[in-house]
Chain A
Amino acid sequence: MSDHETTPIPRRGFMRAAARAACALGIGGGAAYLVAPRTPGERVWQIDPEKCIACGNCATYCVLRESAVKCVHSFAMCGYCELCTGFFNPSPNDLTTAAENVLCPTGAIVRRFVEDPYFEYTIDQNLCIGCGKCVKGCKMFGNGSLYLQVIHDRCLNCNQCSIAAACPSEAWVRVPAARPHLWKKVT
């Protein structure tokens, strides 16, 4: 028998190695798909702020325990009001940050004095659950600078989005992944 003569691979061993390779390829491919930047042709979920009625379903219908939907703030549209109706109850006792006066149940809006009589409002996205209560207040009395958007580093981009199915105003739309937000603009 020559030195170069190879021993035949048993059929079972070959199948096992092939299965291992297929698994590794699948896992690697899946991971690469998840971490790879979105190509222009891909589409992701987003909320059309002009159609959204801030019903609160985004907070509870997401498959994630903490929804991928959060409130965002268009500073260019904001009036920087002393009495912000997205921050304060509709009839506050006083314009202070005492809990009885504040609208957000999770305390996710931060109010900061700028200059008399202007205040800046920012969203703490770690606390926001996407209930849309502030969105309603801002839209009803103010100019709608607070609105809901899908946050894409949280969203799983499910084919069949469970919030989209539960959205009563059909505000959920697919948008190009290269431009994944529908920002409100000053008109």
Chain B
Amino acid sequence: MTARGAISTRAAAGLIVFLALVAAVVAVALHDPIGRRGNRLGRDFAYETKDLRPIPPDLIRYAERAAFDAGLAVPRAIAVDAGDKIYVAGDRAVVWFTTHGAPAGARALDGEPTCLAVGADGTWHVGLGGHVEVFDPAGARAAAWTPHGARSYITAIAAAPDAIFVADAGERLVLLYRPDGAFVRPIGGRDAARAIPGLVVPSPFLDLAMGKDGLLRVTNPGRRKVEAYSLEGDLCFAWGEAGAAIDRFCGCCNPVHLAVLPDGALVAAEKGLATVKVCEPDGALRCVVAGPDLLGENALGCDVAVDSRGRIVVLDPAAKKVRIFEPAPPGGSRSQETGSAHE
């Protein structure tokens, strides 16, 4: 072999070794056994929601003035009494706070609460899965009502002076009771003769609130509507459209929670792209209280209540916090004043 041939053989071998090293380095760099680079699927496979619900800043006319820990692992329901004391149910207990958010008491329950209402006389009605339990203002158990049906699952209660309305998501009905627990009639069941299409409840969210006009407002989440019923069970009117726009109800089943402001406007809470907004009694959007930028994307839904001063009290189950909102000039929903309410 000539000297030139030996050199070119050596150069070729060196090149091969070099290419092998480069290939090894590239292979090591591209090797991703722990999924750091994600799924490498295309855009068609991404579930995008971040631009789905833009909220114009001038529509946000509430600011969060206080927030405090609910002190529960799984907070489920919130209510405010006539004295503006705030009650939160969850973790087989009801806990209550002063209007400023300072802990004021707690009472253990025999089961997992699903909803809570506090009447004008201070009586509590607590939904415990399929039945309702009644407690006097001191927290002593006064009665336990029998479940209405085999599938009963109580998700909301509204207490009026002469009537107790119970939302039964399992039976897809609103149940009207007398305060002593006597059942009066179902409301909201499908009835072609009375032009009632029926409540559609795909997930365990059915809420109601007594309107200032004397009509009961009931969510119909599967139809993305709020319906107004007379106490006789007649459907008076309904409003709501499906869609991601802020003046509509998004997803498969919204709104999930309702409350009524002192002027008769409705506070409606949506899950998914968690949003709390205020609508006129006829359904026109008045303003937004808080959107997904504050409440996040969650499938739980924020229960809402209103106190005597018109403050909107929101239970944020993802953050396990109670958030208190007050009217504010148009802008963001998170105020600089936000902090522990009882500090």
- Within the complex, which residue of B45, B48, B253, B299 is in contact with A144, where a contact is CB–CB below 8 Å? B299
How many chain A residues touch B (CB < 8 A): the figure is 35
A141 to B299, Cβ gap below 8 A?
A: yes
- Looking across the interface, which residue of chain B has its beta carbon closest to that of A105? B44
Instruction: Kindly list chain A residues whose C-beta atoms are within 8 Å of the C-beta of B45.
Output: 56, 59, 105, 131, 133
**Residue B161 is within 8 A (CB to CB) of chain A in the complex:** no
B-side binding surface: helix, strand, loop or mixed?
A: loop
Known: A82-B222, A85-B252. A140 touches B272 (CB 8 A): yes
B47 to A137, Cβ gap below 8 A?
A: yes
**Residue A122 is within 8 A (CB to CB) of chain B in the complex:** no
Binary CB contact string for chain A from 122 to 157 against chain B (1 if under 8 A, 0 otherwise): 000000000101001101111110000000000000
Stretch with Cβ within 8 A of B (4 or more), from A3-11, A23-31, A161-169, A176-184: A161-169
- Within the complex, which residue of A83, A143, A168 is in contact with B242, where a contact is CB–CB below 8 Å? A83
**Residue B194 is within 8 A (CB to CB) of chain A in the complex:** no
Q: Which residues of B218-270 have CB atoms within 8 Å of chain A's CB atoms?
A: 222-224, 242-244, 250-254
A140 to B297, Cβ gap below 8 A?
A: yes
Once the chains are docked, how many angstroms separate the CA of A167 from the CA of B32?
12
Known: A90-B52, A117-B223, A167-B35. A60 touches B252 (CB 8 A): no
Instruction: Kindly list chain A residues whose C-beta atoms are within 8 Å of the C-beta of B146.
Output: none
Interface contacts beyond A61-B35, A142-B299, A165-B34: sample of 20 additional A-B pairs, CB < 8 Å, sorted by A? A55-B38, A56-B41, A57-B35, A57-B39, A59-B39, A79-B203, A85-B252, A90-B48, A90-B244, A133-B45, A133-B46, A133-B47, A140-B47, A140-B272, A141-B252, A141-B253, A141-B271, A143-B203, A165-B33, A165-B35
Q: Shortest 6 CB-CB distances between A and B: which pairs? A: A79-B202, A166-B35, A141-B251, A56-B39, A141-B272, A143-B203
Taking Cβ atoms with an 8 Å cutoff, the residues of A that contact B are 54-57, 59-61, 78-85, 90-91, 103, 105, 117, 131, 133, 136-137, 139-144, 162, 165-168
27 contacts between A and B (CB under 8 A): A55-B38, A55-B39, A56-B41, A57-B38, A59-B39, A60-B39, A60-B41, A79-B201, A79-B252, A82-B222, A83-B252, A84-B252, A90-B250, A91-B243, A105-B44, A105-B45, A131-B45, A133-B47, A137-B47, A140-B299, A141-B252, A143-B203, A143-B204, A143-B299, A165-B33, A166-B32, A168-B35
Taking Cβ atoms with an 8 Å cutoff, the residues of B that contact A are 32-35, 38-41, 44-49, 52, 200-204, 222-224, 242-244, 250-254, 271-272, 297, 299
